Structure 1
Amino acid sequence: MSPATITSDLPAAQQPNWPDRAVLDDAVAQLATYPPLVFAGECDNLRDRMAAASIGEAFVLQGGDCAETFVHATADNIRDRIKTVLQMAAVLTYGAGMPVIKMGRMAGQFAKPRSKDTETRDGVTLPAYRGDMVNDFAFTPESRNPDPGRLLRGYHTSAATLNLVRAFTQGGFADLRGVHDWNVGFVSNSANRRYEGLAHEIDKAMRFMAACGVDFEAMRATEFWSAHEALLLDYERPMTRVDSRTGDLYDTSGHFLWIGERTRQIDHAHLDFVSRIRNPIGMKVSDKADPDELLRIIDLLDPHREPGRLTFITRMGSGKIRDAMPSIVEKVRDSGAIVTWICDPMHGNTFESASGFKTRDFDDVVDEVRGFFEVHRSLGTVPGGLHIELTGNDVTECLGGAERILDADLNKRYESVCDPRLNHQQSLELAFLTAEMLSQRA
């Protein structure tokens, strides 16, 4: 794959104010010489998998941090996130009898959009934290100054993360015969105990299959795809390569890229960028989305109506999804467009708790997923997946769940530098509840 040159004069929202253009140009030039993190053929395979999800033959599970950080990109943290996604996928697969497309919000999710360019504390105003690929979370002038060198560190951290992900998922760690091992190291709780019961049932099924002479070699490994928001164009553009097989362009920073709610203007640079690449792509869709504009965006991003090419990730809030989503889905369905519908039940349910923490209530998250399934059932369309901000750690960032995290508990282990995530137990709980919804989908 050879480097590609993508330029645009269109406005680009949510980009940092880099202080030194020459330093930025040098970092971008270096990125263009680095090896791809993913390959075109892998992206093509994922597009096929997403096509299956669009017609109900598979289910997508996207999970990972709201914003990855360099300091937390450790082997233990990456392993626990992978284990959590593998456990959730096992619950969904066994409970619903359906293949699960496992995708991590990882190896590239180092940038975040901001509502303001600056942040003020105690009368001091500094640039907003835009993710570790731009600046640091610490509230000092040195830390908050956008640094193009962080683009290069983001690449190397993503490469190290992907290397570990591939080792875990291809080297036997993801073997279904070790389904119990994925629970080792997590704190015992009701969700884990329920998972152990399911793992025992899977063990029985595996022993039966072994007695029938089934070859388990194919179960030693699993596909695991990387995904992140294509936000920083100074990172995504130089990571774009020309596929030697076809001459098509691929963004090799990740298998699946999505465009957020704040950068999906049809006459801006982000949609222009993803319209040129062949990766499977997604776009966030809120309750405020104009259905007619969405059809124009579909024409731009998927003019040939290719299954698996385009995913709409709805993020509306539990109190709005049942009212706002039907007209959007109906309009897209009636246009003949083929999109994969995924539910993000996190971003529309964020609020500030009485103690001052940004949080979400687990009951609201579950209710939005229920509303997502209800809307698709009423319209005869396909609920294709979940997009979840989660961690494998026992953090206290979202309220509720079986252990009933309260507002007073949030300060015990609130570790996110951006939005609150489901902890390991809450993630498993959501998987069991979603498996029940999937099993009733017909």
Structure 2
Amino acid sequence: MIAGLDHWRTMSVLQQPVWPDPAVTDQVAAEIATLPPLVFAGEIDQLRTRLATAAAGRAFVLQGGDCAETFAGATADAIRARIKTVLQMAVVLTYGASMPVVKMGRMAGQFAKPRSSETESRGTTSLPAYRGDMVNGYDYTPASRVPDPRRLLQGYHTSASTLNLVRAFTQGGFADLRQVHSWNRGFAANPANQRYEGLAGEIDRAIRFMEAAGADFDELTRVEFYTAHEGLLMDYERAMTRIDSRNGTPVDTSAHFVWIGERTRQLGGAHVDFFSRIRNPIGLKVGPGMTPDELERLIDVLDPQREPGRLTLITRMGAGRIADALPPLLASVGSFGSTPLWICDPMHGNGLTTPTGYKTRRFDDVVGEVRGFFTAHRDAGTHPGGIHIELTGDDVTECLGGSEHIDEATLATRYESLCDPRLNHSQSLELAFLVAEELSARA
């Protein structure tokens, strides 16, 4: 054991599955600990530098991907579609912000989800809740819902194959700036999206100018792309932690960036303790109930040295609450001697359930929370550093509204998420254009 790194085992550990056989769990964790890292310490350090730049107001962060990845969904087509969507959004945001966009995917590890209840009931039966493919199966049967630690190993291998494709797509020419923008021209040419045609035309002229000026487009065929997920399953995150031979510090090699969720951010809890000891840049979800005093104490634990790029605060407050909840936190953080990166998660505070039982979100609420985030930062004189979106590259019907005017009756036509509703490809791009307008207004 590494000194201090296992102290979390003595503390309260929330949102963990009850594995039926601890001996099997220990065996799986020991095997994972011998496997190659999924990401590398040098990449993690590079991301910290990029996030420090964003915290200083000189870059913008885009985090996007599935609410919960599935093993069956880790296909080449699905991964390519998600990467394509993030790249398309990033081009628009880069132009709107007039600054670099740091691109992070909620992928290659987002296989576990916290749950509000330990069980799920249907009719007269009750079974353990589905906690993501890394824990148990979605099928509503007793056998499927039993937590199986061997799924941790399957999660590792699925993450490795996903990362292999991510690196191929982002380094092999798929991310060519001219090609990505051509996809956006098609989006803006759709009559439903013509309000964005002007901005798409401006980007087109900028690219043509770059070509005429002799820009090295060979360098613009590759992009930096980082992976991120909620660091929820402690048996997995601990097994994926390695010691950097360069400086002897622990690094969680399951992803470049890991975050602590709203349900596991307790002071004195296992997640906060463990993530305080790794060198990765880490995120902390900040809900409407967070007080300045609690936030200061969490920052003291997670970022005691006040290191640029170390801590990202991911607000998730709801469109109707952000105007009241965020400004007191922005006003107080400066007095803590801290300059964290602030990014907006406009998804998790805006959930609702339709009368027909579909979990969904209104696109207008998502946009409303993003605008409230920008307004609060403008009034405070601070930097709105990024957005954190649950999205898919597919044409699903899971969130209401947008230029496609998805209504409650439409939800049933292609609702595919096993957990939370995601913005589809068109809604994601529409959000990017709207955020670009906000960024342009600040420039």
TM range (shorter): over 0.9
- In the TM superposition, 1:25-40 aligns within 5 A as 25-40=26-41
Displacement of 1:404 after TM fit? 0.8
Whether the 8 Å CA contact 1:179–1:199 is kept in 2: the answer is no
Deviations 1:193-239 (A, max 9, x none): 77777566544433332332332222110000000000000100000
What does 1:208-357 align with in structure 2 at a 5 Å threshold? 208-357=209-358
- Which stretch has the larger CA shift, 277-286 or 173-182? 173-182
Structure 1 CA distance for aligned equivalents of residues 14 and 338 of structure 2: 27
Please report the TM-score for the alignment, with normalisation by the length of structure 2.
0.95
Counting only pairs closer than 5 Å after superposition, residues 11-160 of structure 1 correspond to structure 2 as 11-160=12-161
TM-score, normalised to structure 1's length?
0.96
Q: What is the correspondence of 1:381-420 to structure 2 with a 5 Å cutoff?
A: 381-420=382-421
- Contact 1:107–1:159 (CA<8 Å) still a contact in 2? yes
Task: State the distance in 2 between where 1:109 and 1:26 align.
Answer: 22
Preserved contact between residue 88 and residue 181 of structure 2 (Cα < 8 Å): no
**2:348 equivalent to 1:378:** no
One-letter code of the match for 1:267? Answer: G
Residue pair 1:67, 1:417 contacting (<8 A) in 2 also: yes
Task: Give the distance between the partners of 2:51 and 2:354, measured in 1 at CA.
Answer: 37
Residues 3/67 of structure 1: CA separation in 2 closer, same or farther (3 Å cut): farther
For the 8 Å contact 2:346–2:369, the answer to whether it is kept is yes
- Amino acid of the residue matched to residue 411 of structure 1? A
**Contact preservation (8 Å) 1:92, 1:432:** yes
SS of alignment partner, residue 359 of structure 1: strand
SS in structure 2 of the partner of residue 179 of structure 1: helix
Alpha-carbon separation, structure 2, partners of 1:201 and 1:40: 39
Which runs of 5 or more residues in structure 2 are unaligned? Answer: none
Give the partner amino acid of 1:6: D
The one-letter amino acid of 2:54's match is A
Give the Cα–Cα distance (whole angstroms) in 1 for the partners of residues 208 and 371 of structure 2.
35
Cα distance change on mapping 1:160 and 1:47 into 2, 3 Å: same
> Would the alpha carbon gap of residues 241 and 345 (structure 1) be closer, same or farther in structure 2, given more than 3 Å must change?
same
Alignment match, 1:424: 425
Shift of 1:280: 0.3
- What is the CA-CA distance between 1:329 and the residue it aligns to? 1.4
Distance of aligned partners of 1:269 and 1:344 in 2 relative to their CA distance in 1, 3 Å threshold: same
Distance in 2, matches of 1:186 and 1:165, equals: 23
Q: Is the 2:184–2:200 contact (alpha carbons within 8 Å) kept by the matching residues of 1?
A: no
- Tell me: CA distance 1:243–1:186, structure 2 relative to 1, closer, same or farther (3 Å): same
Q: CA deviation at 1:97?
A: 1.3
Q: 1:123 to 1:236 in 2, by over 3 A?
A: same
Contact persistence 1:62–1:387 (CA under 8 A): yes
SS at match of 2:38: coil
Q: Post-superposition shift, 1:187? A: 12
CA shift in 2, pair 1:357/1:81, >3 Å: same
Q: 1:188 to 1:354 in 2, by over 3 A?
A: farther
Task: Report Cα offsets for 1:397-422 as digits up to 9, x if no partner.
Answer: 00000111001111011100000000
Following the alignment from structure 2 to structure 1, what is the Cα–Cα distance between the partners of residues 188 and 155? 31
Does structure 1 retain, via aligned residues, the 8 Å contact 2:24–2:149? yes
Shift of 1:185: 10
User: Is the CA contact (8 Å cut-off) linking 1:67 and 1:109 kept in structure 2?
Assistant: yes
Q: Give distance in 2, aligned partners of 1:3 and 1:413.
A: 50
> Distance between the aligned counterparts of 1:145 and 1:116, measured in 2?
15
CA–CA separation in structure 1 for the residues paired with 2:215 and 2:202: 17
Percent of aligned positions that are identical: 68
Aligned to 1:174: 175
Distance 1:188 1:67 in 2: 32
Q: Distance in 2 between matches of 1:254 and 1:196?
A: 36
Report what 1:164 is aligned to: 165
Pair 1:184–1:383, CA change in 2 (3 A): closer
**Alpha-carbon distance in 2 for matches of 1:341, 1:426:** 23
Q: Contact 1:28–1:235 (CA<8 Å) still a contact in 2?
A: yes
**Partners of 1:357 and 1:32 in 2: how far apart?**
39
User: What CA deviation, in whole Å up to 9, does each residue of 1:275-308 have, x standing for no partner?
Assistant: 0100000000000012101101111111111111
Aligned residue identity for 1:338 = T
The answer to whether the Cα contact below 8 Å between 1:355 and 1:408 also exists between their aligned partners in 2 is no
Verify the 8 A CA contact 2:316 2:344 in the aligned structure 1. yes
